[in-house]
Amino acid sequence: MNAIGKADRPNLFGQNTPTPNPSPQGGGELVGNVSASPSPLRGGVRGGGIEPEISKNARPIATAGSVPRLPRHVRLHFDPVRQAWALLSPEKVLWPDEVSLSILRLCDGQRTIESISQTLAVEYEADAQEIQADVLAFAQDWSDRMVLRL
């Protein structure tokens, strides 16, 4: 049993893997028995020694200072048949609405979410704080879908 009362999960090598303790920020401290013995899948002793069993692909969290951009494999494309914009990604096609398209066009890799929000607040004549909350939620959602980089 670990510190929060859940049983540790055994991994492929019979070692105990720590159970993550969720936090509101999306990260999590590890609790329980942390095993740091060498593993052939992680390079073993010959491949560089002992590595922690924490994922190197942590989820990025959108903040006002984040600078969103489209990844290299994603692009906006106008579909003349449907008369609509599509976000094309390998094995995915997303059809953004008018507001999403306005946000995506401003995600150029140079503007922060805060500056994008201010630009949209002027364009839509709305409260900048309310727009920023919506842009943060949008950026987080589309980042989780892996079609926007933060």
pLDDT at residue 19 above 70? no
Q: Quick check: 39 pLDDT over 90?
A: no
Beta strand 28-31 pairing with 75-79 = unpaired
**Regarding the domain delimited by 75-144, which CATH topology (the fold level of the hierarchy) does it fall under?**
Arc Repressor Mutant, subunit A (1.10.10)
Instruction: In whole angstroms, give the CA distance from residue 16 to residue 12.
Output: 9
How many other CB atoms are found less than 10 A from the CB of residue 18? 20
Confidence check: pLDDT of 15 > 60: no
Token pair 């002027």 in the structure block, residue = 122
- Segments making up each domain of the chain, as ranges: 1-57, 75-144
Token pair 């994008």 is found at 116
| pLDDT of amino acid 44 | 44
Residues 147 and 74: beta-carbon distance below 8 Å: yes
pLDDT more than 90, % of the chain: 20
Say if residue 29's pLDDT is above 60.
no
Q: Which of 22-26, 98-102, 146-150 has the highest mean pLDDT?
A: 98-102
Return d(Cα 80, Cα 98) in angstroms, integer.
16
Neighbouring C-alpha atoms within 13 Å toward the C-beta of 69 = 8
Q: What is the average pLDDT value for the chain, to the nearest integer?
A: 73
What pLDDT is recorded for position 83? 92
Please tell me which residue, 21 or 97, carries the higher pLDDT value.
Answer: 97
pLDDT band per the 50, 70, 90 thresholds, residue 118: very high
Q: What is the DSSP letter of 141?
A: H
